Amino acid sequence: MFDVLVYVYENYWQGDACPEWSQLERTLSTLGFEPEEIEGALYWLDGLYDAVQGQLEHPELQHPASMRVYLPREQEHLGEECLGYLGFLESSGLLPPFMREVVVDRAMVLPSEYLSREMLRLILRMAYWSFGTEPQEHLVLSELSDDGVLRVLH
């Protein structure tokens, strides 16, 4: 499923470029993705759409100065590294509360063996994509796309 989501993001990151689900499903199948992977990814993407719509329909639910307390099951599922990364993005002002909730929602439906910092980055990129925005800072974009290679700043 991860590979399907990566493909969808890399090829359709401009929201208006993404085809209807039935056409996307045929395209993914033609590319050789397994039916179970495709079905899981489309189900996950439907959930992403629903989570975004919920946030857009009820902006009053998230105050910009609100504090998020993670439930024990969320702490266990997300793990220390992902929670730390979310905290870093929030404290930097780069992850607003409404988007954080979408990211947490989508991360919680993944089996824990799939959830890594790399997968969290993909979820973050897809959340930005779904809200029709991009991170304002070019450094954030490079951080979200970091491949672990040591780089020298110029």
Q: How far apart are CA 122 and CA 124, in angstroms?
A: 5
Percent of the chain with pLDDT over 70: 80
* Cβ within 8 Å of residue 29, ≥6 positions away: 35, 38
pLDDT of residue 5: 86
Helix (H, G, I), strand (E, B) or coil at 103: helix
pLDDT of residue 144: 52
* pTM of the predicted structure, to 2 decimals: 0.80
Helices and strands (H, E) in the chain, number of each type? 7, 0
Work out the angle between the directed axes of helices 2-12 and 21-30 (0-180°, nearest 10).
110
Q: How far apart are CA 105 and CA 63, in angstroms?
A: 18
Query: For residue range 42-55, what is the model confidence (pLDDT) as tens digits?
Result: 999 889 989 988 88
Query: For residue range 106-137, what is the model confidence (pLDDT) as tens digits?
Result: 999 988 777 888 899 889 988 888 888 876 55
